[in-house]
Amino acid sequence: RKEVEQDPGPFNVPEGATVAFNCTYSNSASQSFFWYRQDCRKEPKLLMSVYSSGNEDGRFTAQLNRASQYISLLIRDSKLSDSATYLCVVNNRGGYQKVTFGIGTKLQVIP
Amino acid sequence: EAQVTQNPRYLITVTGKKLTVTCSQNMNHEYMSWYRQDPGLGLRQIYYSMNVEVTDKGDVPEGYKVSRKEKRNFPLILESPSPNQTSLYFCASSLGAGFEQYFGPGTRLTVT
């Protein structure tokens, strides 16, 4: 089993739709979780951190489920500008200072 | 402006010719890291450094070397590049492994 797994998609959704991505991780000792956004082979940029209590930033909501070992990202009212690849990131696996990225989920928002 | 810089941005080289990709950050970050990104495989960590003179292997360290003599610089060295090292490389820095990472613009390397 991969350390961090994501459905690569693509997810093609109409403007205004709500879309959700999940990301599972295998190491229960993982400590930090993030969602990054990457546009077409450019550098990844932080979208949001994922806290145990969940967090929301405008149209974006991230949640962590430690019992089932997954994190989720919900995008409401999708915009054309949301089209990108969304990467989940798990840090500090088992006490090591490593960082593991998921393969990324490609989202295409269509008019 | 807070940033991570990488040079060169594009490099085409031949098998066996040693090369260095430089990475520099101006945010006084302790943690720095190198990744490669390949289609279907995503971003994979090559090496990371938790501070000056402290480096460790990531998930795909074979064929690469790094050094951290100064806090701001973290060069990636390919002693004898091979075609399977053709990839898009990113350098990143952060306060620590558990914090937001700031990425450089990437270096596209082709080894023929």
Q: A21-25, A27-31, A99-103: which range is least confident on average?
A: A27-31
Q: A85-89, A97-101, B46-50: which range is least confident on average?
A: A97-101
Whole-angstrom distance, CA of residue A67 vs CA of residue B17? 49
Quick check: A46 and B101 CB within 8 A? yes
- What CA–CA distances, in Å, run from B82 to A73, A103, B61? 38, 24, 14
Percent of the residues in chain A that have a pLDDT greater than 70, as a whole number: 95
Chain A: residue whose CA lies nearest to B99: A32
CA dihedral B24, B30, B34, B39 (to 10 degrees): -110
pLDDT of residue B61: 97
Q: Which two tokens stand for residue B20?
A: 């260095």
A-chain residues within 8 Å CB-CB of B42? Answer: 87, 101-104
Whole-angstrom distance, CA of residue B61 vs CA of residue B71? 21
B-chain residues within 8 Å CB-CB of A89? Answer: 101
Whole-angstrom distance, CA of residue A84 vs CA of residue A53? 26
pLDDT digits (tens, 9 = 90+) for A44-80: 999 999 988 889 999 999 999 999 999 999 999 999 9
> Strand B10-13 vs strand B19-25: parallel, antiparallel, or unpaired?
unpaired
Q: A22-26, A51-55, A86-90: which range is least confident on average?
A: A51-55
Task: Tell which wins on pLDDT, B2 or B19.
Answer: B19
pLDDT digits (tens, 9 = 90+) for B22-78: 999 999 999 999 999 999 898 999 999 999 999 999 999 999 999 999 999 999 999
A-chain residues within 8 Å CB-CB of B58? Answer: 98-99
Whole-angstrom distance, CA of residue A67 vs CA of residue B59? 26
In DSSP notation, B36-82 reads EEETTTEEEEEEEEEETTEEEE-S--TT-EE--SSTTB--EEESS--
Are A5 and A102 within 8 A, CB to CB?
Answer: yes
Confidence of residue A21 (pLDDT cuts 50, 70, 90): very high
Residues of B at the A interface, defined by Cβ within 8 angstroms: 31, 33, 35, 37, 40-45, 48, 50, 56, 58-59, 88, 90, 96-101, 103-106
Quick check: A43 and B43 CB within 8 A? no
> Mean pLDDT over all residues of chain A?
92
- What CA–CA distances, in Å, run from B15 to A23, B39, B55, B78? 37, 21, 26, 10
pLDDT at A93 over 60: no
pLDDT at A37 over 90: yes
